[in-house]
Amino acid sequence: MSTSTIRLVFMFCICILAPVIAWPLDSCRECHEDGQTMKKLGYPGFTVTQGEVETQSGMPATCSDCHRGNPSARVPGEAHRGMGRLMPVARKGFSVMTSPRSYPLEFGTNPAVHLIISTDKEGKKVRDASVTAILYHDKRGDTLSQNFAMMEQTCGACHKREFAEFSRSTMAQNGKQSQYKGWLDEQRGPHNCGPWFEGNVTAMRGATAQPFSDQAATLGQKSCSVCHVGCLDCHYAPQLKSGTDPTKGMHTFVKTPSPESCYGNGRSSVCHAGPEDRRRGAGYFGGSFSFPEGGTPDVHVAAKVGCLDCHESTKSNPAIGHAMVRRQAQHSCARCHGEIVRNHAASLHKNLTCEACHIRNVGGYQGTYWGPGKLAGAATPYFKFKAYYGTMAEPFLIKDQKGRWIPVKPFPMAVMNQTSSPFKPGLHWRFPADLPDLKRTDDAWAYVGLFDSLPENNKALLWIQLDKMSHKYGPGRGCDSCHGDPQGVQRQQVAWEYNDPGALPFNGSHEVVADKSGLFIRAIRSEKIELEPGYTMSALAPWVYLKDAWQVKGDFSLPPLRDRKGYAALKSVPMGPGKHHIIH
């Protein structure tokens, strides 16, 4: 039989058999690629083609490769069974909203909260005010924490090595925050973010003087878990479709996480936006991420220097492991500022870190108090009254465990209704100096004591938060900001506004002083406080009763100058300190 005859017979067989062959059905494409079908179903905004997804994501994956589900079923309920989807989290109960959404993700203009969930209200499309957080489908709906099974079956099916390394990483294991095992953990101390509730509730309940329900503990853990990452938090970058760039759209992915993804990528103050701009008050982006809003961004933002340009990761060192990021980034300064770093190392100020001089105007929390309140609609002894927002013009300088001067923002903290305390008054470090950079922070805290002089919520455990400032680089602080006082006293007046549940907004202020005898937070005062029903003054403003209690002994002063006349003369000469190797 000739080759042409064989070819004809083969084509004949194909034509005869084709109608009875059961080709695999992909109901995802059958519905979602058909705009008319999606319109009839009431979800026109969810029309998308496989080609668009591949172009935007840069990956050849199918719908079910990334979202699971059942593409062989034509009935929507069956086709969507087990499917991973966007998870809006409700303010009440922190429960995932599972009802089908009429609208896809939308985009606003505020970079801090530019991802929007919309709903219908009185016949109009409005932003859904019941949504408090937006999570992706690599999180669990019950705990809001990482869903490793989903990650392994979706991202991990193609990116096996990356998933394996991520699963062991500090980020995936919530490695830092999970070490705060209650308020009385002797190794790490109490923390502004609060304790890691999971696995620690029994011990915490035994040390809590008020009822502490399972529901309160669960909601407390959910509020922690919402910040901790999966694959999509770093690599998924949804955005508006572009008429000129087909890679931009709802399915856009990036290989190298952007600085915006480190800051939650438009999902409010989650990921690093919370601890940097909200808590420390010296964040990278500033602007709408700042508290108070409008803070100056780090100078590196304008220079388009990203997080991973300074913080070592697999981008610069593949051996470090996927999702591992080196917290300490001081050594990277020399890559761009080599001469300055060399001059600094030879200067009189060589024991000051770069950020000690180049970080100013630190905002964020200027006080935080954990007391009885309501979290996600449920009563809890541990609600975080945190919105004491203001700006400290100059951070305080303290010596770290290696003898370097670092910038910190001292602010008062308390947790109410403790039964005991194992801590000794004074300065403590969160992590020992001999831990490697990947596992250590340079944060400190100062324990004050247990106090009973409150009308309720007694045995208040007081401490001073002393997080290290690491971002918001800018022009250096003036010489007098450190050396203006002959005795090396550091002093700052801080004004703030409270705008959290429990009371109508009110303004106030306090003074922070660091000298040879200790560290003091004094003269905390405010305008009249009008409480909301069901709240107590001792829970949200214990300073009203405790007054100047926030103080610890120790030498927190700066080294006084021996030659004040020489200092004055040197300051008057342009570039004088640099020429004499006083500074770089």
pLDDT at residue number 273: 92
Q: Is residue 325 part of a domain?
A: no
Q: Is residue 75 part of a domain?
A: yes
Please compute the mean of the pLDDT values over residues 345-357 and round it to a whole number.
Answer: 93
Cβ-count burial 250-265 (b if 16+ within 10 Å, e if not): bbbbbeebebbbbbbb
Question: Is 5 a residue whose pLDDT tops 80?
Answer: no
pLDDT at residue number 16: 43
Q: How far is CA 294 from CA 234, 260, 261, 361, 391, in A?
A: 25, 17, 20, 12, 11
- pTM for the predicted model, two decimal places: 0.92
Q: How far apart are CA 443 and CA 465, in angstroms?
A: 9
> Which of 79, 101, 126 is the last residue in one of the domains?
79
Question: Is 3 a residue whose pLDDT tops 60?
Answer: no
pLDDT digits (tens, 9 = 90+) for 405-418: 999 999 999 999 99
Q: How far is CA 497 from CA 197, 389, 415, 536, 538, in A?
A: 29, 5, 20, 18, 18
CB 432 within 8 A of CB 442: no
Please compute the mean of the pLDDT values over residues 55-75 and round it to a whole number.
Answer: 94
pLDDT digits (tens, 9 = 90+) for 290-344: 999 999 999 999 999 999 999 989 988 889 999 999 888 867 888 899 999 999 9
Please give the share of the chain, as a percent, with pLDDT higher than 90.
Answer: 82
**Hunting for tokens 């300490």 — which residue is that?**
328
Q: How far apart are CA 450 and CA 252, in angstroms?
A: 52
Q: Is residue 478 part of a domain?
A: yes
pLDDT at residue number 579: 65
pLDDT at residue number 332: 81
User: How many domains, in total, are found in the chain?
Assistant: 2
**3-state SS assignment for residue 247:** coil
Residue type, 564: R
Question: Is 12 a residue whose pLDDT tops 70?
Answer: no
Please give the share of the chain, as a percent, with pLDDT higher than 70.
Answer: 95
Q: pLDDT: is 298 or 574 the higher one?
A: 298
Q: Which helix (H) or strand (E) holds 280?
A: none
Question: Is 229 a residue whose pLDDT tops 50?
Answer: yes
Q: Is residue 518 part of a domain?
A: yes
**3-state SS assignment for residue 241:** coil
Nearest to 209 by CA among 467, 426, 387, 450: 450
Q: Is residue 249 part of a domain?
A: no
Q: How far apart are CA 196 and CA 69, in angstroms?
A: 33
Q: How sure is the predictor about 22, in pLDDT bands with cuts at 50, 70 and 90?
A: very low
pLDDT at residue number 406: 97
> Which of 79, 94, 122 is the last residue in one of the domains?
79
CB 508 within 8 A of CB 498: yes
> Any idea which of 52-56, 538-542, 576-580 has the lowest mean pLDDT?
576-580
**Hunting for tokens 């009385």 — which residue is that?**
184
pLDDT at residue number 570: 79
CB 554 within 8 A of CB 544: no
> How far, rounded to the nearest angstrom, does the alpha carbon of residue 293 sit from its chain's CA centroid?
16
Quick one: DSSP state of residue 469?
Answer: P
Nearest to 309 by CA among 258, 349, 360, 263: 258
Q: Is residue 285 part of a domain?
A: no
pLDDT at residue number 439: 79
Q: Is residue 246 part of a domain?
A: no
For 373, the domain range is: 354-565
Query: How is residue 206 written in tokens?
Result: 């035994």
Q: How sure is the predictor about 576, in pLDDT bands with cuts at 50, 70 and 90?
A: low
Q: Chain-wide mean pLDDT for the chain?
A: 92
Q: How sure is the predictor about 24, in pLDDT bands with cuts at 50, 70 and 90?
A: low
Q: What 3 state SS string does 30-99 have?
A: HHHCCHHHHHHHCCHHHCCCHHHHHHHHCCCCCHHHHHCCCCCCCCHHHHCCCCCCCEEEECCCCCECCC
> Which of 48, 79, 110 is the last residue in one of the domains?
79
Cβ burial, residue 184 (10 Å; 0-12/13-18/19+)? buried
pLDDT at residue number 563: 87
pLDDT at residue number 584: 80
> How far, rounded to the nearest angstrom, does the alpha carbon of residue 337 sit from its chain's CA centroid?
28
Q: Is residue 500 part of a domain?
A: yes
Please compute the mean of the pLDDT values over residues 479-498 and round it to a whole number.
Answer: 96
Cβ burial, residue 338 (10 Å; 0-12/13-18/19+)? exposed
Q: How far apart are CA 443 and CA 441, in angstroms?
A: 6
**HSE of 13 in the Cβ direction (CA atoms, 13 Å)?**
6
Please compute the mean of the pLDDT values over residues 384-413 and round it to a whole number.
Answer: 97
